[in-house]
Structure 1
C-alpha cells in the first residue's frame, strides 16, 4: 500500500495558527481593562458595552460570513477575513482620535450617548468582530475540504486549540508589552501577526483537487467515505438560508451555540476583571494564573476531538457517538459552581475549577462544530456554521451585558462577589441545558440529503 501522505495536516496547522491570532487579537482588550478603566474612568457597564459591540457585530456578521465564504471560496474568503480583523485590531491603538471624530459627528447630529474613549473602542471592536466572524466558518469549511469525516473532529479539535494557545500567549505577552511599550503598542504588535499569517496562507492553501503539493493517494483518502458525494454537491446550486432554517439539525446547532458560547466569552472577557475585583490582581500579576488556566483548555480541545471516536469504533453513527461524548463533557462545567465557595482559600482554586470548565467548553465546541459536517452536505456547512455563530454571538451579548449590569449593581452594594456567583451558576449548567434541547430536536443521526 502507498503511504497516504500528510499534507492535510499542514492545512490543519495553518488553521491552528489563524485561530491563535484570532484569539490573541480579541483578548488584548480584556487584559488591558484594569489599565484602561483607570485611565478613562470606565464602569463595568462601559466595558460591557464595548465588549458586546464586538459580540453583536460578530454575531450578525457570522450569518453573512458563512455565505460570503461559500460564495468566494475558502482561500480568499479566509484571506479577506484576516485582513479586516487585523486592521480592526490595530485601530484600537487609535481609539481616542476615532472617538473624537465620532463624537464630533454625533454632536453635530445632536446625539451624545457615550464618552469619547468608549465610542472609539466600540468602533474598533466592531471592525474586529466583522473580520473575526470569518475564522470559524472558513476553518470548518477548509476542514471539510481536506479531511474525511472520521478525522474531522480531531482536526477541528487541533485547530480549535489555537484559541487556547492564543488565550495562553495573550496574558504572557500583552501585560508586559503594555507595561514597557504602552497599551497602544500591544494592539499594534498583535494586529501585525495577522498579516504575516496571510502571506503564508496565500502560498500554501488551494482546493484539494488543485493542490499540487497533495499526493494522489492522499487526495483519494480525503475524498473517501461519502466525501466524493460532498464534492459533487458543492458544485450544485447554493442553499438559501430559509431552506436551512427548515431543518431541526440547524436549530440544534444554533441552540448549542446560543447557550454555551456566552460562557466562553465570559471566561475570555471577564476573568482579568474577576482577578482584580476578588483578589486585587492587576498587570503582570495575572499572567501566570491565566496562562495556567488556558493551558488546561488545550487538553479539552484536543481530547474532545478524540473522545467521540471511542463511541464510533463501537459502531455508533458519527452524530450519535458525538452526542454521547458531549453529554459526558456537559457534566464537567458543574465544577465551576464551587469556584466562589472555595475562592476564600486561595485564588488558585477558582482558577483551576474555571480552567476545568473552560477545558470542557473547548471539548464541547470541537464536537459541536463537527455535528454540522456530520449532517449537512459541504455546500451548506459554512452557512449553517454562520447561522449557529450568529446565535452564539447573541447569547454572548446577553451574557456580557448581564455581567456588566450585575457587577455594577452588586459593586454599589459592596458585594460584587454575588454578581460573580450568579454568573458562575449559569456557566456551570449551560451545557447540560443545551444538550437536552439539542437531543430533543435531533434524537437520532439523520444526514440531510434533500438540499
Structure 2
C-alpha cells in the first residue's frame, strides 16, 4: 500500500523530484533540436551541400510532423497512461536521434553504391565524389530526404513530452502552483539550449557531427530508465505521504470532488474538445508564439553566422548563443507571477494568468529595434532575442497551465496535444517561409526598411515575432473573457 495514506509529521516534497524529471526530459529534447541548429552551418551544410532552403524545409517538416503527432499523442497518453505513453514517446525519440548519425553513410551508399561503415571514411569519400554538379546535387537531395524521414521519427517521439509533462504536473501540483512548476520544467528548454553550445560544436569538431546525435540519444536512454523507476501517480507513490497528498489534492477537496481512486474525471473525445471556446483560447495562445520560439531555436546560430560571421564552434559564437539562452532563463521569475496574483491579489487562476501574460506580451516589442541595434554591436540583438525568449517561456508555461485550470485531468494531455499541433503548424510556416525568405533576400539583394539582403529578411521576421504575442493575447481574451471550467 502507498505511504500516501500514512500520517507524517512533515509534508514530503516528492512532487519536486517528479518536476526535476520533467525538467531533464525537456532539456534533453531541446538539446536534440540544438544539435541540428549548431551543426548545420559549419558541419552538415559543407559536407552535404545544403542551403537555407534545404534547412528551412527540414526544420519546417519537423515542425509539421510534430504538429500532426501532437493531435493524436495527447489522446494516446490519456488512454494508455502517463508512464507507458511517456516511455513510448521517449523511446521513439531515442531511435530517431540515433538514426541521424547514419545519414552520410546511407547517402554515400545510395548515390555512389559504396558502403563505408565509418563516419570519417564516408566523409572523405563524399568530399571526393562531390566534384561534379550532378553528383553534388544528388548528395544534397538524397541527404535532405533521409534527414526529413529521420526528423519525422524524432518529431513523433518529442511530441509526447509536453502532453505527458503537463498531465503529470496536473497530477502532482495544485492549480495555484502549476504555473511555477510548469515554468520550472519548461526551463529545461533554456538549460538544454544553454548547455548545447559548449558541448555540441566541440563533439562535432572532435568526433564528427554524427556523434553529437548519438550522445544525445544515449542521454535519452538513461532518462527512460530513471523515469521508469521514480514515477507513480501520487496515490500510488510510496514517497508521497498523507500531508503532501492532501496538499496536491487541495483543489478537488475544496470543490468536493476528491476521490479515493485514480479516476481523472469524465472522458472527452478528441473532436469534442474543438467545440469548447477554452480549447480555441489555447490554440490562439500557441499558433504564433510557438513559431517565434522555434524560429529562434533553429535559426539563432545561423543568424549569428550569416549576419556577424561567427561560427557555432568559435568562442564568440558560443558566447553569443550562451548569452541569449542565459537571459531567457529570466522566465523562471515570470512563471511565478500568476501565483503572486492569485495568492496576494485573490484573483482566480485564469485572471491571474491572463494578467501576467499581457505583461509578457509587451516585452517582445523590443525585437522591432534588434536589427538597428545590431549595427552598433552584435550583443544588442542577442540580448533582445534573449528577452523575447524569456517572455516566450513565461508565456508558454502559462498557456500550458490554462489547460489544466479549465479541463478535467482526463483531457489535459489531449488538449495540450491540440495546442501543440497548432503550435507545430505555426512553427512549420515560420521556419519554412523563413528559409525561402532568406534565400530570396540574399539572391535578389532585397531592400526593406533600409536593410539589404539577408538583413532585410531578418528584419521582416523580427517584425512578425515582435507583434505575435500581443495579437495572441487579444484572441485568447476574446475566446474566454473570464475563468470558466469546461462542463461535460
- Confirm or deny a common fold (TM above 0.5): yes
- The DSSP-based 3-state class of the residue aligned with 1:284 is coil
Q: CA deviation at 1:102?
A: 8.0
> For the Cα contact (< 8 Å) 1:102–1:119, is it kept in 2?
no
> For the Cα contact (< 8 Å) 2:287–2:424, is it kept in 1?
yes
The answer for the alignment partner of 1:338 in structure 2 is: 369
The answer for the alignment partner of 1:307 in structure 2 is: 337
The answer for the alignment partner of 1:424 in structure 2 is: 462
Seen in structure 2, the aligned counterparts of structure 1 residues 314 and 77 have a Cα distance that, compared at 3 Å, is same
Is residue 7 of structure 1 aligned with residue 14 of structure 2? yes
Q: CA deviation at 1:42?
A: 1.1
Is residue 249 of structure 1 aligned with residue 287 of structure 2? no
Seen in structure 2, the aligned counterparts of structure 1 residues 267 and 426 have a Cα distance that, compared at 3 Å, is same
Q: CA deviation at 1:101?
A: 7.7
Q: Give 1:70-109 correspondences, 5 Å limit.
A: 70-99=78-107
Seen in structure 2, the aligned counterparts of structure 1 residues 164 and 417 have a Cα distance that, compared at 3 Å, is same
Output the aligned Cα RMSD.
Answer: 1.8
1:298-319 CA-to-partner distances (Å, cap 9, x unmatched) read 111x112200122212111100
Which structure 2 residue ranges, 5 or more long, are not aligned? Answer: 1-7, 113-137, 446-452
Give me the whole-angstrom Cα distance separating, in 1, the residues matched to 2:324 and 2:265: 45
The answer for the alignment partner of 2:391 in structure 1 is: 360
Q: CA deviation at 1:336?
A: 1.0
Q: CA deviation at 1:220?
A: 1.5
> For the Cα contact (< 8 Å) 1:176–1:284, is it kept in 2?
yes
Q: CA deviation at 1:75?
A: 1.1
The answer for the alignment partner of 1:145 in structure 2 is: 171
- The DSSP-based 3-state class of the residue aligned with 1:25 is helix
Is residue 52 of structure 1 aligned with residue 60 of structure 2? yes
The answer for the alignment partner of 2:134 in structure 1 is: none
Seen in structure 2, the aligned counterparts of structure 1 residues 54 and 136 have a Cα distance that, compared at 3 Å, is same
The answer for the alignment partner of 1:192 in structure 2 is: 218
1:39-58 CA-to-partner distances (Å, cap 9, x unmatched) read 22212111111111211110
> For the Cα contact (< 8 Å) 2:305–2:312, is it kept in 1?
no
Give me the whole-angstrom Cα distance separating, in 2, the residues matched to 1:444 and 1:98: 55
Q: Give 1:16-415 correspondences, 5 Å limit.
A: 16-34=23-41, 35-99=43-107, 115-226=141-252, 229=257, 234-235=263-264, 238-285=267-314, 286-300=317-331, 302-312=332-342, 313-414=344-445, 415=453
Count of residue correspondences: 442
Give me the whole-angstrom Cα distance separating, in 2, the residues matched to 1:304 and 1:102: 50
Seen in structure 2, the aligned counterparts of structure 1 residues 102 and 78 have a Cα distance that, compared at 3 Å, is farther
Seen in structure 2, the aligned counterparts of structure 1 residues 62 and 103 have a Cα distance that, compared at 3 Å, is farther
> For the Cα contact (< 8 Å) 1:264–1:358, is it kept in 2?
yes
TM-score, normalised to structure 1's length?
0.95
Which structure 1 residue ranges, 5 or more long, are not aligned? Answer: 105-111
> For the Cα contact (< 8 Å) 1:230–1:377, is it kept in 2?
no
The structure with the larger Rg is 2
